[in-house]
Amino acid sequence: MAADHSGPVPFSVEFFPPRDADAEARLWRAVRIFERMNPAFVSMTYGAGGSTRDRTVRIAGELATETTLLTIAHLTAVNHSVDELRALVGAYADKGIVNLLALRGDPPGDPLGDWTAHPDGVEYASELVDLIGGLGDFHTGVASFPEGHHRAPDLDADTENLVRKLRAGAEYSVTQVFFDVEDYLRLRDRVVAADPEQGAKPIIPGLMPITSLAGARRMTELSGSRIPADVEERLARAAGDGPEENREAVRAVGIDLCTETSERLIAEGAPCLHFCSLNFAKATSEVLDRIGVDTRGAFTPV
């Protein structure tokens, strides 16, 4: 992450597996734009459904082999036996991917529903970190939660779990998207206090420029997180009282908010800014441009 970067801080971009050929073409347009901005890494999330899973592995492999981008593949334990997880790690390794984000995942269909482990699978992400560590020379990251994971009884239990995952061998964590920098700073302090050695590992903040208030509400609801009242108020004011939200105004506020968050995180020494792009390049690159990343020429057609 200390490698050469064209702005005040390294940044990274998250993509998700496209559903069809059109969405895949859009993803690749975004990938090529970001590639020219020299991100520290890109990551590809891992879907809950069967066909998306095959596509995820294929596209993550193409990111690793057909671009200059360092690729991190997400991996979840949902509906997988240990044998299948081993095979999946092997499939990534065959494509040259040695950077994995080890996650438990959520129950398919209802992310907030009851979690049931595969009978021959693993129960928690820490076990997945352990499993990957035993399979070869991989670099593993995990998820962290500035507001606490919604299933953790309290913030202490949540911190304990993150430390457990780091002790199991994870080298860094990437946070859930948040909108209050204080939550990130408090998480960082909690991990340092719980275990200074593990607390020295990077906690990479997850960011997302909001372009739709309804979309942001849905995302936070599904992930058990929240939009702070002041942020909600600014967005709601921009959205207006009409039957349809004013997307242009919401987008402008969303980009302002994400820029402010990014600037504060840079000032607080965040190691890298991780943007959930939703497979679009424009909103994130506007934020990057405003924080001083060189985005010139990134949109020039090749």
Ligand X SMILES: Cc1cc2nc3c(=O)[nH]c(=O)nc-3n(C[C@H](O)[C@H](O)[C@H](O)COP(=O)(O)OP(=O)(O)OC[C@H]3O[C@@H](n4cnc5c(N)ncnc54)[C@H](O)[C@@H]3O)c2cc1C
**Pattern 199-238, binding to ligand X, x per CB under 6 A?**
-------x--------------------------------
Stretch that binds ligand X, among 172-180, 181-189, 236-244, 257-265 (CB under 6 A): 172-180
Residue 224 CA to chain centroid, in angstroms? 15
The smaller minimum CB distance to ligand X, of residues 55 and 104, is found at 104
Provide the minimum distance between the beta carbon of 116 and ligand X in the complex, in angstroms, as a whole number: 13
DSSP letter string, 196-251: HHHHTS-EEEEE---S-HHHHHHHHHHHT----HHHHHHHHHHH-SSSS--HHHHH
Catalytic hit among 14, 127, 245, 286: 14
Please give the span between the terminal C-alpha atoms of the chain, in angstroms, as a whole number: 27
**Pattern 41-60, binding to ligand X, x per CB under 6 A?**
----xx-x------------
Q: How many Cα atoms sit within 13 Å of 222 on the Cβ side? A: 14
Burial class (CB within 10 angstroms; exposed 0-12, middle 13-18, buried 19+) of 116: exposed
- Give yes or no for residue 183 binding ligand X (CB under 6 A): no
**Active site (annotated) includes residue 14:** yes
- Of positions 91, 93, 152, 192, contacts ligand X by CB under 6 A: 152
Stretch that binds ligand X, among 152-160, 183-191, 231-239, 252-260 (CB under 6 A): 152-160
Cα–Cα distance between 67 and 69 in angstroms, integer? Answer: 5
- Give yes or no for residue 279 binding ligand X (CB under 6 A): no
The smaller minimum CB distance to ligand X, of residues 71 and 126, is found at 126
Provide the minimum distance between the beta carbon of 199 and ligand X in the complex, in angstroms, as a whole number: 17
Stretch that binds ligand X, among 88-96, 149-157, 209-217, 235-243 (CB under 6 A): 149-157
Strand extents, DSSP E, the chain: 11-15, 41-44, 71-76, 99-103, 139-144, 172-177, 203-207, 273-276
Distances (CA, A) of 195 to 6, 18, 23, 181, 236: 33, 39, 43, 22, 40
Stretch that binds ligand X, among 132-140, 174-182, 186-194, 251-259 (CB under 6 A): 174-182
What is the tally of helices (H) and strands (E) in the chain? 11, 8
Q: Which residues bind ligand X (CB under 6 A)?
A: 45-46, 48, 74, 76, 103-106, 124-126, 143, 149, 151-152, 157-158, 161, 165, 174-176, 206
